[in-house]
Amino acid sequence: MQLTKQIEQTDIEPHMSALRGWLRGNIVGMYAGPKRKNGHKTDQCSVVFHVQHKKSADRIALDGDEAIPPFLELPIAQNGGKPVMVKVPTDVQEVGPFRDDAEPVAKPEPMASWDRIRPAPGGQQVQPQGINMAGTLGASFNINGQYRMLSNNHVLSYNGQYTRIYQPDVSQQQNYLCDVSGFINLITYPNSNQFNPIYNTTDLAWCNTTPLVCSPAINGIGTPVGFAAPAANMQVSCYGATTDEVMHTSIVSVHYQGVMRIMGQYAWFQDAIWLNGDNFAPLPGDSGSILVNNQLQMVGILTATNVFGAMACLIPTQLIH
C-alpha cells in the first residue's frame, strides 16, 4: 500500500515497549530517531539500535546474537485511515562495551566542583562513605513538604548499601554532608542476557537536608523553580562534577529503552530520556546531574552515557517520601 504520510518519530514511539525483547546480549538500547548515513543524521525516521559491537552475519550466528533486519514491520496510522503494516527502517549504531558510569575519587588535579562548599550547590562532587567512587550532587528542592537533595541511587546509596554522604569526599570528617533518607530500588541482574527482565523507570535517591547544608542553586545554571515533563527537542542544561562546567544539549526521545551496567550489574530501563550526543559528552562522575530546561524547570536526572549521547531518567516526585 502506498504511504500517504512520511513516517515520523511519534508514529514509531508507541511501539517501542513492544520491541523491548530485542534488548539482550549485544543489543543494549533502542529508540525512535533519525537514521544516520555515513555518520550524518538524515530526515528519515527509524528504529535506532545501540549495539556493543557491529558484527558480521557469521559472528552474530556464532555468538548466538539476534540479527537486526534492515526494516521492521510496524502498524502505522495513515492520513484518514486505519493503521497499515509499514516497513520502518532500522539504524544500527556501535556504542562499545558496557562501562560503569562512576568515577574513582582519586583525581590528577583539583577542580572547582571538588572543593568543599557549604551550602553545597548542585554540580558539586559527592561520595558515599564505604566506596571509592563519586558522582554529582544534582539539586536541592522542597518536595512533598521536605527540603531534599537529589542524585542517583547508584551515586548515593547503591540500593541502601551506603547512607552517609560526603562532599566532596570522605577524606576528612568535616566533609560530611547528610544521610540518605530514601531511594527508589534499582532492579539489576548479574548478566546482560537476562530473560524477561523487570524494567526500571528511574535511578534516584534523596537526602532530607536544609538550605544551610545544600544550596537550592545549581552551579552556572541558577535556582530551579519546579519540575516539568521532558519532551522531544526540548533544550536542556546540566552541570557535572567531573566535566566541571555547564553542558547544553537537547532531548532526542523520551521513550528510550536500554540496558546499562550500574553498580557492577545490569539494569534495564524503560521510557527513559535519550539526549543528543552532538557536542555533549558527559564523563564518568557526572551521573546525578539534574537536567534543567530553559524555564529553569527540572526535567530529568543524568544516569549513563555512551559515544552517541546519554541516558537520563524521570524524577517521579510522587514516590519521594
pLDDT score, position 294? 98
How confident is the model at residue 312, as a pLDDT?
97
In a domain, 4, yes or no: no
Kindly state the DSSP code that residue 68 receives in the 8-state scheme: P
- How many domains are there within the chain? 2
Same domain, 147 and 21: no
Whether 300 contacts 168, CB under 8 Å? no
Q: What's 130's domain CATH number?
A: 2.40.10.10
* Predicted pLDDT of residue 310: 94
- Terminal C-alpha separation, the chain: 53
pLDDT tens-digit map of 118-151: 999 999 999 999 999 999 999 999 999 999 999 9
* Contacts for 74 with CB less than 8 Å, ≥ 6 apart: 11, 12, 15, 85, 86, 88
Helical segments of 172-242, H only: none
Please tell me whether residues 47 and 150 are part of one structural domain: no
Specify whether 65 is located in the same domain as 189: no
- Here the cell at position 168 is 566532596
> Residue 20 falls within a domain, yes or no?
yes
pLDDT value for 41: 85
Which regions of the chain are under pLDDT 50? 1-2
Residue 3: the pLDDT is 54
Whether residue 145 contacts residue 320, with contact meaning beta carbons closer than 8 Å, is answered with no
User: DSSP 3-state assignment of 99?
Assistant: coil
Residue 121 lies in a domain: yes
Task: Flag whether 1 is in a domain.
Answer: no
Report the candidate in 77, 101, 130 with the shortest Cα–Cα distance to residue 284. 101
Classify 249 as helix, strand or coil. strand
Give the Cα-Cα-Cα angle 240, 242, 246 (nearest 5 degrees): 35
Q: Grid coordinates standing for 223?
A: 535556582
Residues 206-248: pLDDT tens digits? 999 999 999 999 999 999 999 999 999 999 999 999 999 999 9
* pLDDT, position 307: 80
* Domain end point (choices 62, 94, 126): 94
| Pair (61, 124) in one structural domain | no
- Domain containing residue 309: 103-319
Same domain, 217 and 266: yes
Do 308 and 216 fall into the same domain?
Answer: yes
DSSP string, 71-88: EEEEEEEPTTS-EEEEEE
Residue-level pLDDT at 37: 86
Residues 76 and 110 in one domain: no
Which of the listed residues 61, 94, 127 is the one where a domain comes to its end? 94
pLDDT score, position 6: 84
* 204, 184 Cβ separation under 8 angstroms: yes
Regarding whether 112 and 230 lie in a shared domain, the answer is yes
Classify residue 187 as left (phi > 0), alpha (psi -120 to 50) or beta.
beta
* Same structural domain, 285 and 207: yes
Q: Is 2 within the bounds of a domain?
A: no
- 3-state class (DSSP) for residue 240: strand
Looking at the fold, whether 73 and 160 belong to one and the same domain comes out as no
DSSP label at residue 168: S
According to the model, what pLDDT value does residue 126 have? 98
Claim to verify: residue 110 and residue 202 sit in the same structural domain: yes
In whole angstroms, what is the distance from residue 231 CA to residue 311 CA?
Answer: 14
| Contact call for residues 225 and 246 (beta carbons, < 8 A) | no
Predicted pLDDT of residue 1: 46
> Does 188 share its domain with 295?
yes
Last residue of a domain, one of 72, 94, 116: 94
Q: Is residue 155 part of a domain?
A: yes
Q: Residue 185 domain-assigned?
A: yes
